[in-house]
Amino acid sequence: MLLYRRIRAGAQGKTIQIVAAATNLSSGSTLAEKDVTLIDWHSDVPPTGAFSKLSDVVGRPLIYPIGAQQPVLPTHLGAEGSGVGLSGKIPAGMRATAVRSNEIVGVAGFLYPGSHVDVLATYTPPGGSQTPVTQTVLQNVEVLTAGQTTEPDPQGKPEAVNVVTLLVNPEDSQKLQLASSQGTIQFVLRSGVDTKYVDVRPTHLTQLASADVVVAPSDTKAKAPTRMRAPAPKSTPIFMLEVIQGTQRTLTKF
């Protein structure tokens, strides 16, 4: 029996107490003593950065939602004194910038908090040319809120919103404001694992006449779509010259 107890005690190992959520907690709230508790955790594999005192987390804003009995980690919390609600989710040095949206700009309603987008602007550049251009002004921008929603819909249902709040640095917030005031903007949804920045040149209106047109294959077994060159627009006669030589008339178009 003594040997069995020693083996059992060795198998169980030592435990430590760490701070965890007492109940399910949503983001944007400030942690109070009733929101957290101490739980036993195996000392051999403690969570990185886990807190051992309740006082270390009380009063700090919660950036991400956590479930009951889930350890509270530094990545879940905003800086002390950073505020509650949306302000508590803004990292130091970043800004939350709101942009007016509609069903088209908001990617048909499939724009959720936590999504990443590129921002395209269509405007007329200053100078002699009045031809509009479309340019990618920002890449891989995180969406903080869609409307007044700070958390994505669990069912993934699309919802059209009037305002989208983006997380950008101060310089990019100025670019975003200028782009929205000079023309129209469009959000381009990107994969959550795609963080690569691409060198994209502006697209001019004249490029559409000679752009490659992608034709979807009618056969589902086709490996790739067919690319066709769009024909250049035909010139329209502007001037006509009629030459009369006796009874002969010649009409020349320019």
Residue 133 and residue 83 share a domain: no
How confident is the model at residue 19, as a pLDDT? 93
CA 49 to chain centre: 28
Place of tokens 């959000």: 187
Residue 236 maps to a domain? no
How confident is the model at residue 20, as a pLDDT? 93
Residue 190 and residue 119 share a domain: yes
Closest CA relative to residue 62, chosen from 76, 48, 47: 76
Find the domain containing 154 and state its range. Answer: 95-205
Mean pLDDT of 33-58: 89
How confident is the model at residue 175, as a pLDDT? 92
Residue 226 maps to a domain? no
Structure confidence by residue, pLDDT tens digits, 237-248: 567 778 887 777
Mean pLDDT of 68-81: 83
* Eight-class DSSP state of 71: B
Residue 99 and residue 155 share a domain: yes
Residue 147 and residue 67 share a domain: no
pLDDT band at 230 (very low <50, low <70, confident <90, very high): low
Residue 84 and residue 62 share a domain: yes
Residue 219 maps to a domain? no
Place of tokens 């944007």: 28
Residue 201 and residue 99 share a domain: yes
Residue 112 and residue 201 share a domain: yes
How confident is the model at residue 168, as a pLDDT? 93
How confident is the model at residue 92, as a pLDDT? 77
71: CATH: 3.90.1210.10
How confident is the model at residue 88, as a pLDDT? 67
Residue 65 and residue 106 share a domain: no
Residue 218 maps to a domain? no
Distance, CA of 219 to CA of 156 (rounded, Å): 32
Mean pLDDT of 7-11: 61
Those residues whose C-beta lies under 8 Å from the C-beta of residue 204, and which sit 6 or more positions away, are 131, 133
Mean pLDDT of 118-132: 83
Percent of the chain surpassing pLDDT 90: 19
Task: Quote the mean pLDDT of the chain.
Answer: 79
Residue 125 and residue 48 share a domain: no
Mean pLDDT of 213-220: 54
How confident is the model at residue 183, as a pLDDT? 85
Number of domains the chain contains: 2
